[in-house]
A = this chain, B = another copy of it.
Amino acid sequence: MKGVILGINPRATVIDITHEVPPQAVRHAAFILAEACPYFPPGTVHAAVVDPGMGSERRAVAVQTPMAIFVGPDNGLFSYLLANQQTNRLVAVHLTNPYYWRAEVSSTFHGRDIFAPVAAHLSLGVAIDELGELMPASSLVMLPHLRPEVRPDGSIIGHVLRADRFGNLITDIAAEQLCGALTIEVAGRRIAGLKPTYAAAERGELVALIGSTDTLEIAVREGNAAQELRTRAGAEVIVRRVR
């Protein structure tokens, strides 16, 4: 993909966000994109691909937001990114114009043959609507359960979005939902309240805290929460208010 990009735009600055997303883990990748992309300069073109089940019926798409442009499969990969965007400020295009693809398109590697060349052309200033047919942003595939559920009793049912490389569990429960005294339940364990930092915990202690993405994070100080709790992306996390 990088060779293809540099062949089209030799001045492109190509940055890897990650190559560590597990196969088929669309939700994990979607969350990483939403975490990382806001920190890139305005106008950055993000090419993403996670599903080797390409060549299937999924559309190839590009989506322009006020801040950046995204290129990839229409399989929910942009769900977290787009969840907070006003639909009328998005331009979505079904990538149907082979003029901007590699001359030969394989059935298995759309990243190299479609997404990379399209991203490179976008970085050179090609307008998004030259790449194919405009489509309503509302028709883009979105993952279910993008937000935690708040129950009538004030408890919050959220989910683990991913484990980071330290085994810390990143959840979808936002910092601002976590006020007052509370307990956190995950994988049959109960944690009383939030710690301000990792360092405030004892070595080996299971803690909840506000992570670097301003969401609830479950960690073991100098340990691996994902391994200790045998928990990964998708696991339920319940926050209860203590009265």
Contact = CB atoms under 8 A, between A and B. Distances in A.
Nearest to A1: B39
Interface string A172-212: 00000000000000000000000011111000000001111
A233 B196 CA distance: 31
A141 interface: no
A24 B104 CA distance: 33
A89 to B, nearest CB: 21
A135 interface: no
Interface stretch (A91-99, A106-114, A151-159): A106-114
Would you call the interface of chain A mostly helix, strand, loop, or mixed?
loop
B41 A15 contact: no
A196 to B, nearest CB: 7
A23 interface: yes
Interface in A109-132: 109, 112-113
Interface stretch (A2-10, A77-85, A234-242): A2-10
A37 B39 CA distance: 27
Contact of A55 (B2, B40, B199): B199
B196 A55 contact: yes
Nearest to A102: B39
A199 B56 contact: yes
Nearest to A198: B53
A32 to B, nearest CB: 12
Contact of A199 (B13, B57, B106): B57
Contacts of A65: none
A243 interface: no
Interface of A: 2-4, 6-7, 10, 13-15, 23-24, 36-37, 39-41, 44, 52-57, 106-109, 112-113, 165-166, 168, 196-200, 209-214, 217, 221-222
Given A2-B15, A23-B222, A109-B212, 18 more contacts: A3-B37, A3-B40, A6-B15, A6-B41, A7-B39, A7-B41, A10-B41, A23-B165, A52-B198, A53-B199, A56-B198, A56-B200, A106-B213, A107-B209, A108-B197, A108-B211, A109-B211, A112-B212
28 contacts: A3-B36, A3-B37, A3-B40, A3-B41, A3-B44, A6-B15, A6-B40, A7-B39, A14-B15, A23-B165, A52-B166, A53-B198, A54-B198, A54-B199, A55-B196, A56-B198, A56-B199, A57-B199, A106-B211, A106-B212, A106-B214, A107-B196, A107-B212, A108-B210, A108-B212, A108-B217, A112-B212, A113-B212
